[in-house]
Amino acid sequence: MTTSNRQDLKEKVIAQADQSVETLYRYLRLTSVSAQHLEIPETVQFVADLLKSVGGEVKILDDLGGNPVIYGFFAAGSKGNANKTLLFYNHYDVQPPDPLDEWESEPFEPSLKDGILYARGTADNKGSLMLRLAAIKALEQADGLPCNIKFLIEGEEEIGSPNLPRYLKEYAELFKADACIWEFGSKDAQERVELYAGIKGSAYFELSTKSASIDIHSSLAAVIDNPAWRLVQALASMKNQNNDITVEGFFDEIEEPDEALMEIVRALPFDKSGLTGPFGLTRPLITEARGENPRDALMLYPTMTICGMVSGYIGEGAKTVLPKEAKVKIDCRMVPGQTGEHLLACFERHLARHGFSDVKVELIESQRAYRSDITDPFLHLVKKTAEEAYGSEAVLYPNSPGTGPMYQFNECLQLPIVSTGVGWAESKAHAPNESIRMKDYADGCLHMAYLLTDFAAE
Amino acid sequence: MTTSNRQDLKEKVIAQADQSVETLYRYLRLTSVSAQHLEIPETVQFVADLLKSVGGEVKILDDLGGNPVIYGFFAAGSKGNANKTLLFYNHYDVQPPDPLDEWESEPFEPSLKDGILYARGTADNKGSLMLRLAAIKALEQADGLPCNIKFLIEGEEEIGSPNLPRYLKEYAELFKADACIWEFGSKDAQERVELYAGIKGSAYFELSTKSASIDIHSSLAAVIDNPAWRLVQALASMKNQNNDITVEGFFDEIEEPDEALMEIVRALPFDKSGLTGPFGLTRPLITEARGENPRDALMLYPTMTICGMVSGYIGEGAKTVLPKEAKVKIDCRMVPGQTGEHLLACFERHLARHGFSDVKVELIESQRAYRSDITDPFLHLVKKTAEEAYGSEAVLYPNSPGTGPMYQFNECLQLPIVSTGVGWAESKAHAPNESIRMKDYADGCLHMAYLLTDFAAE
Q: State residue A2's pLDDT score.
A: 64
For A285-339, where are the alpha helices, taking DSSP H only? 286-290, 294-300
Substitution target from A218, A335, A428 for chain B, most B beta carbons within 10 A: A218
A361 and A386 share one domain: no
A194, A222: one domain: no
Across the interface, of A318, A321, A431, the residue whose CB is closest to B364 is A318
How many structural domains comprise chain B? 2
Do B237 and B214 share a structural domain? yes
Task: Tell me: do B343 and B394 sit in the same domain.
Answer: no
Residues 374-413 of A with CB under 8 A from B: 400-403
Assigned domain for A86 exists: yes
In sequence order, the 6+-apart residues with CB closer than 8 A to the CB of A30 are A39, A42, A43, A46, A108
Cβ-defined contact of A297 to B222 (cutoff 8 Å): yes
Residue B363 lies in a domain: yes
B359 and B406 belong to one structural domain: no
**Distance of residue B358 Cα from the nearest chain A Cα, in angstroms:** 9
Q: Nearest 5°: CA angle at A307, between A306 and A310?
A: 85
Asked whether residue B414 falls in the same domain as residue B298, the answer is no
Which residue range(s) make up the domain with A238? 201-254+302-367
B333: chain A residues, CB-CB within 8 Å: 218-219, 221-222
Name the residue facing A430 among B217, B222, B305 (closest C-beta). Answer: B217
The reply to whether residue B226 touches residue A306, judged by beta carbons under 8 angstroms, is yes
- What span, in angstroms and rounded, lies between the C-alpha atoms of A180 and B141? 91
Say if residue B3's pLDDT is above 80.
no
Tens digits of residue pLDDT in A379-396: 999 999 999 999 999 999
Q: For residues B367 and B365, what is the distance between their CA atoms, to the nearest angstrom?
A: 7
The pairing of beta strand A81-91 with beta strand A179-182: parallel
Find the residue in A nearest to B227 (Cα): A306
Domain assignment present for residue A337? The answer is: yes
Contact between B430 and A215 using a beta-carbon 8 Å cutoff: yes
- Name the strand (E) or helix (H) holding B407: helix B406-413
Q: Which residues contact A256 (CB under 8 A, 6 or more apart)?
A: none
pLDDT value at position B430?
A: 83
Residue A275 has its nearest CB partner, among B35, B224, B329, at: B224
Q: How confident is the model at residue B1 (pLDDT cuts 50, 70, 90)?
A: low
**Is B58 in the same domain as B186?**
yes
* Ramachandran category for residue B302: left, alpha or beta (phi over 0 → left; psi -120 to 50 → alpha): beta
Q: Are residues B375 and B416 in the same domain?
A: yes
The band of B40, judged by pLDDT with boundaries at 50, 70 and 90, is very high
A241 CB within 8 Å of a chain B CB: yes
Q: Please check whether residue A357 is in contact with residue B241, taking contact to mean a CB–CB distance below 8 angstroms.
A: no
Question: What is residue B218's DSSP assignment?
Answer: G
- DSSP string across B271-293: -HHHHHHHHT--S--HHHHHT--
Instruction: Over range A239-262, report the average pLDDT.
Output: 95
Under 8 Å between Cβ of A58 and A52: yes
Regarding whether B12 and B144 lie in a shared domain, the answer is yes
Buried b / exposed e over A430-451, threshold 16 CB at 10 Å, is bbbbbbbbbebbbbbbbbbbbb
Give A87-121 pLDDT, tens digit per residue: 999 999 999 998 899 999 999 999 999 999 999 99
Whether B263 is in a domain gets the answer no
At residue B374, the pLDDT reads: 84
Segment B377-400 mean pLDDT: 96
DSSP states of B103-158 as a string?
-SS-TTS-EEETTEEESTTIIIIIHHHHHHHHHHHHHHHTT--SEEEEEEEES-GG
Closest CA to A334 of B264, B330, B221, B42: B221
- Of B367, B382, B417, which marks where a domain is finished? B367
What is the complex's ipTM, to 2 decimals? 0.83
Does the pLDDT of residue B274 top 90, yes or no? Answer: no
Asked if B331 lies within 8 A of A318 by C-beta distance, the reply is yes
- What's the DSSP call for residue A39? S
Run of H or E residues at A394:
strand A394-397
CB pairs < 8 Å spanning A and B: 344
Which candidate, A437, A436, A433, places its Cα nearest to that of A97?
A433
Task: For chain B, say whether A25 makes contact (Cβ under 8 Å).
Answer: no
How many whole angstroms separate alpha carbon B150 and alpha carbon B147?
10
The pLDDT of residue A43 is 98
CATH number at residue A386: 3.40.630.10
- Residue A286's Cβ-count burial label (10 Å; 0-12, 13-18, 19+) is buried
- Sorted by sequence, the CB contacts under 8 Å of residue A345 that are 6+ apart come out as A249
A436's enclosing H/E stretch is strand A435-437
In angstroms, the separation between the Cα of residue B143 and the nearest Cα of chain A is: 41
Residue A367: pLDDT over 60:
yes
Laid out side by side, the sheet with B305-312 consists of A360-367, A201-210, A325-334, A305-312, B305-312, B325-334, B201-210, B360-367
Residue A80 in this model has a pLDDT that exceeds 80: yes
- Using a CB–CB cutoff of 8 Å, tell me whether A242 touches chain B: no
Yes or no, beta carbons of A232 and B232 under 8 Å apart = yes
- Per-residue pLDDT reduced to its tens digit, B121-176: 999 999 999 999 999 999 999 999 999 999 999 999 988 888 999 999 999 999 99
**Are residues B22 and B120 part of one domain?**
yes
Report yes or no: A181 and B396 within 8 Å, Cβ to Cβ: no
pLDDT at A277 (0 to 100): 82
Q: Which of B241, B306, B358 to mutate to test the interface with A (most CBs of A within 10 A)?
A: B306
Report if residue B273 sits inside a domain. Answer: no
Chain B residues inside the 8 Å CB shell of A233: 236, 239-241
Angle at the Cα of B216 from the Cα atoms of B210 and B217, rounded to 5 degrees: 150
Q: What mean pLDDT value characterizes chain B?
A: 95
- Tell me the nearest-neighbour CA distance from A252 into chain B, angstroms: 18
Last residue of a domain, one of A328, A346, A367: A367
Distance from CA of A11 to the nearest CA of B (A): 36
B311·A312 Cβ contact <8 A? no
Q: Within an 8 Å CB–CB cutoff, is residue B364 touching chain A?
A: yes
Q: Which of B165, B137, B161 is nearest to B149 (CA)?
A: B137
Residue B98 has pLDDT above 90, yes or no: no
Q: Tell which of A339, A367, A395 closes a domain.
A: A367
Q: What is the pLDDT of residues B171-217, one digit of tens each?
A: 999 999 999 999 999 999 899 999 999 999 999 999 999 999 999 98
- Give B304's contacts in chain A (Cβ within 8 Å): 221
Assess if residue A265 is contained within a domain.
no
Query: Which whole-number Å values give the CA distances from B119 to A364, B307, B402, in the listed order?
Result: 38, 22, 21
Q: Is the same domain home to B324 and B374?
A: no
Round to whole Å and give the CA distance between B22 and B16.
Answer: 11
Interface test mutation site (partner B, options A219, A272, A301, A419, max chain B beta carbons within 10 A): A219
Cβ distance of A35 and B98 shorter than 8 Å: no
- Chain B 127-186, residues with CB within 8 Å of chain A CB atoms: 158-160
DSSP A180-214: EEES--BB-TT-PEEEESEEBEEEEEEEEEE--SS
Tell me the pLDDT tens digit for each residue of A120-159: 999 999 999 999 999 999 999 999 999 999 999 999 998 8
Q: pLDDT tens, B326-381? A: 999 999 999 999 999 999 999 999 999 999 999 999 999 899 999 998 889 999 99
Phi and psi at A191, nearest 5°, equal 65, 20
Chain B interface test: which of A186, A237, A319 (most B C-beta within 10 Å):
A319
CATH number at residue A244: 3.30.70.360
Inspect the interface and report whether the beta carbons of A35 and B318 lie closer than 8 Å: yes
Q: Greatest CA separation found in chain B?
A: 82
Answer yes or no: is pLDDT of B227 > 60.
yes
Average pLDDT rounded to a whole number, residues A347-358: 98
Residue A421 lies in a domain: yes
Q: Would A289 be classed as within a structural domain?
A: no
- The model's pLDDT over A319-352, given as tens digits with 9 standing for 90+, comes to 899 999 999 999 999 999 999 999 999 999 999 9
Q: What is the pLDDT of residues B44-95, one digit of tens each?
A: 999 999 999 999 999 999 999 999 999 999 999 999 999 999 999 999 999 9
Measured CA distances, B322 to A375, A434, B224, B301 (Å):
33, 15, 8, 38
Whether residue B99 is preceded by a cis peptide bond, meaning omega within 30 degrees of 0, is yes
Question: Which residue among B221, B226, B429 sits closest to A217, beta carbon to beta carbon?
Answer: B429
Cβ <8 Å between A214 and B36: no
Do A18 and A142 lie in one domain? The reply is yes
Q: Is A222 in contact with B301 (Cβ distance < 8 A)?
A: yes
Residue with the larger pLDDT of the pair A129 and A259: A129
Cβ of A224 within 8 Å of Cβ of B279? The answer is yes
Share of chain B above pLDDT 70, in %: 99
